[in-house]
Amino acid sequence: MKDLMKNGWLVLGLFLIVFVIGADSFIISPLLPVLAQSYHASITTVALSVTIYAICYAIGSPLLGPLGDRFPKRRLLLVGVVIFFVGGVACAWAPTVGWFNIGRAVAGIGAATTLPNVWALIGQMFYGKKLNLIMGITMAALSLSIALGVPMGTELAQLVNWRLAFVVSVGLTLLAGGILYRVIPRRTLVMRKVDYWQSYDQIGRSLKAKLALLITLTWMLGFYVVYTFLGTFITRQFHLNTGQTGLVFVAYGLSNFVASFFGGVVMTKLGKLATVQLSGVLSAVAMAGLLAGQQSLLAIIGSLIVLAIVQGLGVTALNTIIVNLLPLQRATMMASNSAMLYLGLTVSSSVGGWAYPRVGFFGITLAAMGALLIAVGLTRRLRKWL
């Protein structure tokens, strides 16, 4: 706790920027109808802003990642914050849907520059118990953004108009950027400048690096195929409205936040690899609970809370492992890890969209349980190389 207080402003700045970027990914969903009305456009047209943001992040992250291994991470992180800030300002001001989409593209590039360097900076600056603690707290910001992003966007839009949501986002970005500019040590130098393509070459040559990225991909395939279609299943199964279903996901996000926040303590007690393996097994058990209790909303919520807790612990531990696998390629590794996350989301949503009408929630959940158990098996293999 003393270490946390000593680095309090740094942790606050990192927490804020991760929260804002995470919330920015979710905040737009409830705004689509009012955006369409404001711009006199169709929902399909304004929904392109979601796709544009995701594509710019998914492509920008692996392209920009190696820069963090060539230049000081402080510089790259702050440049990313500035780009994200500009994108937010463009969205808040945008007079047309075209300008709004440009703003979303810029914000996506800013997020792709910022987040991998947040994780890489933490991995470079902290070690041991302190690394576990600060990684857990910072990753908890993403969990909190899942819980608060959608309701925050809805409430801000209802208070004044949809532009207020982006004004608040811009304000928080400016605050986080100012804190980080003041408190990140200027001597966060690159350990050794690495040629742009050399970073990926080293990852390609490292069996443990490739295996770790495969674990992330497999894990995310299993998680997102259930998470993506859970809302549809709950709404139809229990005849809920959108607001009621949203409250279920708020419960998930808050539970995930608590687990991630205290994940550092659990990792220190159990060990990072053991935490990943145990969390993967318990995630599969929680999904089995979703299937067994699908006639009871309370049973579904209970299983979902368990899933949120073990996912928060497991993903935090996995990120903490990956950030230190290749110290010289730390930023590139975290950028590649982000790319695996988005690839998992893309594949699970597309394949799940085809499979859900054919095999139902039961079938895709069984497949998800299998993917998570495969990730556990791969983690056991990774232990041999660490």
Does the CA dihedral 319-325-330-335 come out positive or negative? negative
Q: What digits encode the pLDDT tens for the residues 99-140?
A: 999 999 999 999 999 999 999 899 888 888 889 889 999 989
Q: What are phi and psi of 194, to 5 degrees?
A: -115, 135
Element (H, E) at 264: helix 263-270
- Give me the pLDDT at residue 311, please: 94
Q: Which amino acid would we find at residue 251?
A: A
Q: Evaluate if residue 181 carries a pLDDT over 60.
A: yes
Q: What digits encode the pLDDT tens for the residues 251-284?
A: 888 899 999 989 889 999 999 999 999 999 999 9
* Nearest CA among 154, 178, 151, 156 for reference residue 167: 156
- Give me the pLDDT at residue 32, please: 76
As a whole number, mean pLDDT of residues 84-93 equals 96
Record the pTM: 0.85
User: By mean pLDDT, which of 195-209, 264-278, 304-318 is the weakest?
Assistant: 195-209
Q: What digits encode the pLDDT tens for the residues 56-82?
A: 888 888 888 778 777 888 888 999 999
* Nearest CA among 214, 250, 218, 213 for reference residue 231: 250
- Give me the pLDDT at residue 372, please: 97
Instruction: Name the band, by pLDDT with cuts 50, 70 and 90, for residue 148.
Output: confident
Instruction: Name the band, by pLDDT with cuts 50, 70 and 90, for residue 4.
Output: low
Q: Which amino acid would we find at residue 192?
A: R
- Give me the pLDDT at residue 70, please: 79
In sequence order, the 6+-apart residues with CB closer than 8 A to the CB of 160 are none
Query: Mean pLDDT for the chain?
Result: 87
User: By mean pLDDT, which of 84-88, 237-241, 363-367, 371-375 is the weakest?
Assistant: 237-241
